[in-house]
Amino acid sequence: MLKDYRIMLVLAFAGLVFFGMSLLKEINLSFASHQKAYYKELGIEDFYVEIKQVNINAPGGGMVVDRCQSCHIGASNPDALNFDQPLAMHPPIVPGVENDPHEFGKIGCVVCHDGNGRALEKDDAHGEYHGWPFPLLAGELAQANCNRCHTMESGSLAGAEHYEKGRELFLEKACWGCHTIAGISSSSQAPELSNAGGKFSYEYLVESMVDPAANVANSKMPKFDWVDDAETVAALATYLKGQQKNRLRSDGQAPIGYSKPASEEQRLSEASAAAGRSLFAGVPVAGSLDRGGCINCHSFRNGNGVLSGGSVGPELTYAIRARGKEYVEDHIRNARVHVPDSIMPTFKDYNDAEIESLVKFLETLDYNPAAGLPGDKLFEMFCTSCHGEELDGRGRVSSMLDPLPRDFNRYQFVDTYEDRFAESISEGVNGTAMPAWNKILSKEQIASLIDYIKTQSLTGDKPFTRIKVELPKTGDPERMDYKEKGIELAIGDPIEGLAAFQKHCTSCHGKLANGKGPNAYLLEHPLPRNLLNKEFLNQTTMSDERLYQSILLGVAGTPMPAHDHLKDQTLLDLIAFIRANTTEEAK
């Protein structure tokens, strides 16, 4: 019994100690010690410690509570200019003015700096703990919140130069081509950013640029070359943090973000190669939209063959010669006209003069490789960016292409389809990023390329022989008529083909036949074909016999398996279903 009383006595004493410690903490709050130090620096003896609170009315009847100046007590006092933090006067926000128009006694601190204005302890007040959505924005990062009060109708705001640089970079780096910000851009290729700052922290926005897959594992956003420039990323993230729908100005007239002056709305009326070069480089063009930036993704060679530009999209040195003007113009307006799975933005805001200017610039790119280059050098110059230095289909731009480039390390593919190489290189592969090279490379150079691919892919591997089969015709006997009932093949039925497709093909090719089935991204390179790709399936080389062989025997060197367990009638029905979706008349 005595032992139990001793335990209770120890617990009671411990509780008393903890109570005393918490009471002492309340008596000696950090803001109290800061205020005592502040008044001591000023030589004031008659003062009392208080919680200094600012209340700001927010739209919708809300209230922003700000107690920051309980610690930052000298924020508005010129006599505290040289005091140590947190007692010092806040430096002028607007440079070059005698009296800064910002009155911290009225607007507080969290309006500009975020953080947790209700808290009184440093870590809590700065929002430096897990789960708080608006951690402190220090220094020039606070310019992200200028938008809460200022509309910036003139296109600039004194004291917000870092934010304005981010706005210019958003246009220069062609972010507008994929992302919408109200009043700035209207693309729907990627998530809208009109409220990016309202949903995400500054750190999240930085991380999403530096490593797009960090927060969204299957993100299609490229990792641009400029993400290694910390200053560029910081300015862009500051601008994006400023995109917030909830503003302190509630007059209904203030647009979100930057509003272009009326003079910037003038459009380019006369096309020129010089204007196209500027648009390509993301340099403002007089009389045109302040937009462009193709160079962030695409590269090109000058007359000496020196390559410059981005490493995200295909090189464009040969684009006009390989594709033709009409194709390139269509591709800029909407890349999915010719390549349904292209991730290139839709530049629908360009007018005809701007698109023609870009084409005129691309027409000036006339570099040709030196005659007599061996196959390995030709492959390095023309093929590695997509097909990779190791011929594995994993070149520097491959991740941005859909369908992915061929993997030439799969000897079964090379051995089986060698006869198609010359045509694919010469004429290109419609519906994909593979262009026609017949106007740039001679037949001898194409032959040299094929020899190089063969020597690299077939060395040391056993020859692969594909069974030769022909497309059966209506009236032919059914291949799987094991009981010899005399079954004859009928013309393919697309309705029956749809039923067979849903039963046998959707796990890879998807229920919509677009190549995006649930297992598609679990397969080895290359991914399943998009069977809605009219450009690809309407090629002269894509015959019904080729489809039949691909389904029956599989596609050598790919995950496409043989379906020889299906009846020929089923295969004909499947082909009819595919054709019904991809003929030129199909809607």
Domain shared by 282 and 239, yes or no: no
Crossing angle (nearest 10°) for helices 161-172 and 230-241: 100
Per-residue pLDDT of the chain (587 residues; tens, 9 = 90+): 555 667 777 777 777 766 655 545 544 578 889 999 999 999 998 988 899 999 988 766 578 899 999 999 999 898 998 999 999 999 888 877 777 778 888 889 999 999 999 988 888 899 987 778 889 999 999 999 988 888 755 567 788 899 989 988 998 888 988 898 887 877 878 899 999 998 999 999 999 999 998 888 878 888 898 999 999 999 999 999 999 887 776 554 444 444 444 444 567 888 999 999 999 998 888 766 557 789 999 999 998 889 999 989 999 999 999 999 999 999 999 998 899 988 888 887 788 999 999 999 999 999 988 788 999 999 999 999 999 999 999 999 998 888 889 999 888 888 888 888 889 999 999 999 999 999 999 999 999 999 999 998 877 666 777 788 999 999 999 999 988 899 999 999 999 999 999 999 999 999 999 999 999 888 877 789 999 999 999 998 899 999 999 999 999 888 999 999 999 999 999 999 999 998 765 44
Domain shared by 225 and 273, yes or no: no
What residues make up the domain containing 425? 375-457
Domain shared by 301 and 398, yes or no: no
What CATH number is attached to the domain comprising 509?
1.10.760.10
Beta bridge partners of 442: none
**Alpha-carbon distance 383 to 381, whole Å?**
6
Half-sphere exposure of 188 (CA within 13 A, CB side): 1
Domain shared by 50 and 131, yes or no: yes
Element (H, E) at 54: strand 54-57
Residue 199 in domain: yes
- Pairing relationship of beta strands 63-66 and 54-57 according to DSSP bridges: antiparallel
**Alpha-carbon distance 142 to 145, whole Å?**
6
CB 133: neighbour CB atoms within 10 A? 11
Domain shared by 36 and 130, yes or no: yes
Residue 15 in domain: no
Tell whether the torsion through CA atoms of 247, 252, 257 and 258 is positive or negative: negative
**Residue 262: burial class (beta carbons within 10 Å; 0-12, 13-18, 19+):** exposed
Residue 587 in domain: no
Domain shared by 125 and 38, yes or no: yes
**Structure token pair of residue 123:** 């870590």
Domain shared by 38 and 130, yes or no: yes
72-73-78 Cα angle (round to 5): 105
Beta bridge partners of 299: 309
Domain shared by 345 and 397, yes or no: no
**Structure token pair of residue 544:** 């019904």
**Alpha-carbon distance 481 to 581, whole Å?**
29
Domain shared by 358 and 380, yes or no: no
Q: Do the beta carbons of residue 410 and residue 525 sit within 8 Å?
A: no
DSSP structural state of residue 570 = H
Tell whether the torsion through CA atoms of 217, 222, 225 and 230 is positive or negative: negative
Residue 22 in domain: no
Domain shared by 221 and 317, yes or no: no
Beta bridge partners of 54: 66
**Structure token pair of residue 245:** 């729908």
**Structure token pair of residue 103:** 């009155």
Domain boundary among 313, 341, 363: 363
In total, how many domains does the chain have? Answer: 5
Residue 143 in domain: no
